[in-house]
Structure 1
Amino acid sequence: MPSNRIDAVFTTEQREKAQAALATLAEALPFLINLSTEERAAMPKFGEMNRSFVVKALAVAEAHPEILPASLSLAEFRADVELVEDIYPLHHAVQTLLRKVDDTYFAAGSEAYAAALLVYQYAKVHNVGTGALEETLDDLGRRFARRARKVAAPG
């Protein structure tokens, strides 16, 4: 069997504590929103490289408010920048935690899948001549069944 990168048990108590902590976090951040895929795609992209640009642009706007059009609210711009800066440490911590959760989930799943593949191979070998595992092998084998391709009708 391949290397064992993760050897852990996620107890009911741990799961309940984690769920409660997430609920507490969500409760502490009532202003969080959900964006649709379309909304996100329509918005200018924002990331780490743009963060310092935004802060510097705010400094320019505050130093020279006379250059701003009346339609641009300096107060709203400042509030958005402050929210970005205030939420950044939390965003970073959550991203770091999410990466660990993803890595742990992936490693455990990969190890389980590798073991399942071995079980499937051993079952196929053991089934030769006996047929005792035929139904089980058919069920497991559906994972590897190829789907028929749709052929375009001549036209």
Structure 2
Amino acid sequence: MADNKVSAKLSSTDREAVMQAITTIREKLPFLIDLTTEERKALPKLGDKSRAFVSKALEIATQNPDFLPRSFDLNEMRQDIELFEALYPIMLSLTQLQGLVDDTSVAVGSEAYAAGLMVYNYAKVSGKGAGLESMVDDLGRRFARKAKKVQPQTS
């Protein structure tokens, strides 16, 4: 097969160790939440450009707490910023890892599918008379097209 990018095995022991590591990560971050799409869209985002703004705002609030209403929780703001800063490198690492896992999965899935297509094509050509007809037909169902629904014409 041409251009095989990944040739590896993942033992069940290693897969289980990775799954346990993921479980450990979840256990060490028990405060993680799951936002709905609507909730996520509604929130103001703290990105790279806004990090300096938030740091300066914290500094101003820390040095001048008198102008803030009593209901403003400066310690909670500080804690949120500290947690964000602590999570940021974790998020970057997990994003990179997730990208690598996704790319690898796509590549090996593509390689497996390409190999399956080759088997199918070889079996169609060379498998006649070898008792493979029913298996080739079974594989060929993957490519069967569904009849398009005829839409009634309106006059």
TM-score bin, normalised by smaller chain = 0.7 to 0.9
Matched with 1:47 is 47
Corresponding residue for 2:135?
Answer: 136
- Give the TM-score normalised by the residue count of structure 1: 0.79
Where in structure 1 are there 5+ consecutive unaligned residues?
none
- With 63-72 and 51-60 compared, the bigger mean Cα shift is at 63-72
Q: Which runs of 5+ in 2 are unaligned?
A: none
2: CA distance between counterparts of 1:38 and 1:22?
27
Q: Indicate if the aligned counterparts of 1:2 and 1:114 stay in contact, CA closer than 8 A.
A: no
In structure 2, how many angstroms separate the alpha carbons of the residues matched to 1:96 and 1:80?
A: 24
Select between 68-77 and 87-96 the one with higher mean Cα deviation.
Answer: 68-77
The letter for the 2-side match of 1:41 is K
Give 1:26 shift: 1.2
Q: In structure 2, what is the Cα distance between the partners aligned to 1:150 and 1:41?
A: 38
Number of corresponding residues: 154
Partner SS, residue 101 of structure 2? helix
RCO comparison, higher one (Cα < 8 Å, 6+): 1
Identity of aligned residues (%): 49
- How large is the RMSD of aligned CA atoms in angstroms? 2.6
- TM-score w.r.t. the length of structure 2 is 0.79
Measured in 2, the distance between the counterparts of 1:22 and 1:2 equals 34
